[in-house]
Structure 1
Amino acid sequence: MYELSQVEDSEDRYGYVLCSRLSYILQADVGDESSVDRNEADVVITLQIGDTRVALLVVEMKQELTIRNCDPSLQAGLSMRHVWIDSLKRDIRDRCCCPTFLIAVGGPWLCVLGGVLTDRIIVQRLTDMKWMALSSTEEDARIYHNARLFIALRQCLAELKTYYEGLGSVPPCEANEPHPRYYPYPSSYTSNDGTLVHFDYLETLEEDAACVTYLAQITNQTTSGDVTTDEDAASTKIVVKFVARYGKEVHELLAREGHAPRLRYYGSVSGIPSSGVLPSPAERSPPGLCLRSDLMYMVVMDYVEASSKTPSNARQQISPVLTLLHSNGYVFGDLRGQNVLFDADGNIKFIDFNWCGRYDMNIRDKGLPAGLQKEIDKLRINQDGGPYTRYPLSMSTVTGMWATGMTPLAPIRPCHDWAMLEKISWT
């Protein structure tokens, strides 16, 4: 922090000082590495695997953030690309998504990022731009916080080194075949009876590049005691998705009634259920919202083959499901055609529960079906209270997509579900 507090008139001197400190803190040898197009990153920490040098960390530095109109965080991502497109690294590229840590430095500001290579370079910021200079006589708390950041990075680099050293057991990528390099790293979950179930990803279930829902297949035949469980038998297809919030209670309720696929697992991405209560949303966040960006959960459910035909009574099948939810104090929230399907027998299955949760039954909605409000009034005395679910801040704002009252951060209400039911159009 002392070095970054100084004003250097030479970029070479600035880079030399920073490199020496990073080498000491991260306990790694730093250097540079030329790429096929002769673009060199300022600093690269590499690992030698056979005849190939693998980049673990790429650093881009500027004396000031705005110097030469260049953002060092963007340049770090481009430098990562330059490093990995080398033909000598093809064998490594064919076995993994080339995870790489990036550091962007501009004057006294520093940011840590992470990058992977699938069919494109994907870079995400792991920290914000952090002030690394000394600017006060009372800096103990910030020095401690920054020290924790570098210690964590040092430990992560050691784990990344172990990851690359173990790639020999991973088969290379083959054309038109699913391969781990294109899918998330979690590949197992713990079933309700405590058995560890392994699976392989088969394909994404959406065309969007931001897809977080995958079709997978169980690879091991798990057992419970001495009896093989058919539901976890090898080759069984499942759906795996990753979420920041999820209506687990709603999913389980509808699954018991036959209106949703069986929920096999909901918990940490490690596939191991947490002991006790899952981490709660950030303090002071609006009720029903998850504003903790550090949380991500894995959901595993049965795969249901959708019928190619929509039954003539599709709307009539959804109505009693909504009545069941609302009379029990729950709302669905995102009732669109893409979030329900009909199985081979033509029966309705709700499949997306990200927005689901409880609603305040003490507030009356207009436009509910006859008799539903009476059912709600009977059961509301048993309601425990909030938190009540709300629409996410990031929901689409395309005109005409949602019913009246459906806006970011607004409470999700039963009347919204019924209005969305009327908007669904099946062809």
Structure 2
Amino acid sequence: MVLEVAFMFKALKIALDDLEEFYHRLITPEAKVNRNQLLFPYYNNVRIEETIYKLTYVTKLEGRNIFQATMNIDTESSRDVVVKFTKRYSEDCHRACYHLRISPELLACEKLSGGWYVVVMEFLKNHTTLFSLAQKNLLALTMWPSIEDAVRKMHRTGFVHGDLRLPNIMWALDGSIKIIDFDWAGKDSQVTYPPLLNRESNIPWHDGVRFGVNITTKHDWHLLTTQFCNALGVKEFVRLHV
């Protein structure tokens, strides 16, 4: 009996030695970490319908929590996108505007933990914000009819924007207009202005604008036309059209 137990322990030791040698020969794969991505948000996969696409961040864009990224379509192709993180967003208004071809394509709008939303949309390569054009003295009065038409189309769907400043409208050489930044957007006279509204800056808000007040088309037109006129140094021409 003692001899049998001794043989059993001997066999067990041989087996353990063999296992130890086997695992020492294994090469532990190093985790592939793209150090460049450590500077960007953790969110790197987006679900569109039933497919999950990988996001690779490229750079941070102007504004809070907005990034340019590439979305891998397959192993050979990718698409440039904008990824935005926000506490509030009107998916319905954005999709309505895209249907009218006056906004970039909305690819995904997903609610995250902590009350945040992540928005993934088309990256507009050929468009420039009206603010950027104004900074370069390239904003022109001839652009106004296209701008006015785009805003009227949005309003006819029953939506208001709430933040129609020059940085949130984009223009291309072909004359096409794209409205962006639908954080405050919603149904006319139903959606309200958020808290912490910046009233101290030089933004020409309508006198009735404040936290909790319903956003109206009148507010949209006042903000847009005032900024547009100020950028061009005119006061009356644009306002005759709204």
Q: Same fold (TM over 0.5)?
A: yes
The Cα of 1:400 is off from its aligned counterpart by 4.1
The Cα of 1:195 is off from its aligned counterpart by 1.2
Q: Which structure carries more relative contact order (alpha carbon 8 Å, separation 6+)?
A: 2
Cα distance in structure 2, aligned partners of 1:167 and 1:297 = 33
Partner residue in 2 for 1:93:
none
8 Å CA contact retained: 2:59, 2:67: yes
Partner residue in 1 for 2:117:
297
8 Å CA contact retained: 2:68, 2:83: yes
Cα distance in structure 1, aligned partners of 2:140 and 2:74 = 35
- Gaps of at least 5 residues in structure 2 are 1-28, 233-242
Partner residue in 2 for 1:239:
82
Cα distance in structure 1, aligned partners of 2:30 and 2:96 = 42
Equivalent of 1:337, from 142, 150, 166?
166
Cα distance in structure 1, aligned partners of 2:92 and 2:112 = 19
**Structural mapping, 1:29-48, within 5 Å:** none
Partner amino acid, structure 2, of 1:396: N
Distance 1:186 1:167, change over 3 A: farther
The Cα of 1:424 is off from its aligned counterpart by 2.1
Partner residue in 2 for 1:190:
47
**Residue deviations 1:335-390, cap 9 Å, x none?**
00111111342311011100000123xxxxxxxxxxxxxxxxxxxxxxxxxxx211
Partner residue in 2 for 1:205:
61
The Cα of 1:168 is off from its aligned counterpart by 3.5
Partner amino acid, structure 2, of 1:170: V
SS at match of 1:397: coil
Cα distance in structure 1, aligned partners of 2:30 and 2:222 = 52
Which structure has the larger Rg?
Answer: 2
Partner amino acid, structure 1, of 2:68: L
8 Å CA contact retained: 1:186, 1:269: no
SS at match of 1:254: helix
Pairwise CA RMSD of aligned residues? Answer: 2.3
**Residue deviations 1:221-241, cap 9 Å, x none?**
18xxxxxxxxxx733100000
- Gaps of at least 5 residues in structure 1 are 1-165, 174-178, 223-232, 271-293, 361-387
SS at match of 1:169: coil
Partner amino acid, structure 2, of 1:301: M
Cα distance in structure 2, aligned partners of 1:400 and 1:311 = 22
Distance 1:170 1:421, change over 3 A: same
Cα distance in structure 2, aligned partners of 1:181 and 1:329 = 41
8 Å CA contact retained: 2:96, 2:157: no
The Cα of 1:296 is off from its aligned counterpart by 0.8
Partner amino acid, structure 2, of 1:213: I
SS at match of 1:186: coil
**Structural mapping, 1:383-394, within 5 Å:** 388-394=190-196
Equivalent of 1:420, from 191, 210, 223?
223
Partner residue in 2 for 1:405:
208
TM-score by length of structure 2 reads 0.72
* Greater percentage in helix: 2
How many residue pairs end up in the alignment?
192
Partner residue in 2 for 1:313:
142
SS at match of 1:197: strand
TM-score by length of structure 1 reads 0.42
Cα distance in structure 2, aligned partners of 1:399 and 1:263 = 30
Q: Identity percentage over the alignment?
A: 27
Cα distance in structure 2, aligned partners of 1:346 and 1:326 = 20
8 Å CA contact retained: 2:55, 2:72: yes
Partner amino acid, structure 1, of 2:100: E
